[in-house]
Amino acid sequence: MNLHAVRAIYLFELSRAWRTIGQSILSPVISTCLYFIVFGSAIGSRISDIDGVSYGAFIVPGLIMLSLLTESISNASFGIYLPRFTGTIYEVLSAPISQLEIILGYVGAAASKSIVIGAIILATASLFVTIEIAHPLWMLLFLVLTAVTFSLFGFVIGIWADGFERLQIIPLLIVTPLTFLGGSFYSIDMLPPLWRTVTLFNPVVYLVSGFRWSFYGNADVSVGLSIGMIALVLFGCLACVTWIFRTVYLLMQYIHFDIQLSLQATLSLSDRPCTGAAHQERRRCHRLAGSSRGWR
């Protein structure tokens, strides 16, 4: 495995987060503070404890999971779509990098940023309410698995999208409603039996329930089902990414091969010496043709 390539992609994506620190870090923190002001103070003071936990503390795992899902999808989808939009993806495709290394670089960076944001939100929440973590190792496991799973999902969206509008369709119209209806701000045991049964078809319920169990030891569904649902979504995303690289990625290989042939044809048109802009263009063609030999 080319660890230098993985590290280069990983660090480049992390540096992009630092360049947009206001959007990447400050925005989720401000949103969390607003949630606590509205739900924790204004509304939470009028709601009784849920399973022995104050309402303000009860919504902390749901808020973290809400930010974790949206940020994982957003970071991964935008991270792979932006190179496609600007055309710099061909530099990655022409480098001696395998499919696995590309996935590790982009998905690893997106998951890392999401985990950092989750930790910042947890620290911010501790300023408003008292938080107890009953199972810290399980909490970390749920955090990492969820971030990696939905970063893979965002990676798929970034490859599928053909415009900036499509990047927002699934997160806004599907993921966010499922998160709000998945027990982030309430226990599904509070619902009528019919709606509780319907809610169990929402996969986000299992993520939020398992994550909340790691904090307070209370869960709406069994922890085994929560882990099983995360594993199911994770393997589904892995299967989708594998299929994409076996079809679309293979197609890109043929496209790049055609580019290589056209460059070689351009270089062989004339062997006459040239200067100025023509000389620079020939040097650029030589560099592109040389980088094409590193294709895997």
Residue 164 has pLDDT above 50, yes or no: yes
Query: Residue holding tokens 């630092």?
Result: 18
AA identity, residue 167: L
Domain that holds residue 242: 3-292
How many CA atoms lie within 13 Å of 293's alpha carbon, on the beta-carbon side?
6
Give the count of domains, the chain: 1
Residue 72 has pLDDT above 50, yes or no: yes
If one compares 13 and 39, the residue with the highest pLDDT of the two is 13
- Chain-centroid distance of CA 197 in Å reads 29
For helices 203-216 and 136-160, the axis angle rounded to 10 degrees is: 150
Residue 143 has pLDDT above 80, yes or no: yes
Shortest CA distance to 67 belongs to which of 133, 118, 126?
A: 118
pLDDT digits (tens, 9 = 90+) for 93-132: 777 788 888 888 889 999 999 999 899 888 888 888 888 8
Do 211 and 146 contact (CB within 8 A), yes or no?
A: yes
Query: Residue holding tokens 């599928």?
Result: 160
Q: Across the chain, how many H-helices and E-strands are there?
A: 14, 0
Among the ranges 51-65, 77-91, 196-210, 250-264, which has the highest mean pLDDT value?
196-210
Residue 44 has pLDDT above 80, yes or no: no
Do 73 and 171 contact (CB within 8 A), yes or no?
A: yes
pTM of the model: 0.78
**pLDDT on residue 257:** 45
The pair phi, psi for residue 50, each rounded to 5°, is: -115, 115
Mean pLDDT lowest among 115-124, 227-236, 264-273: 264-273
**pLDDT on residue 139:** 92
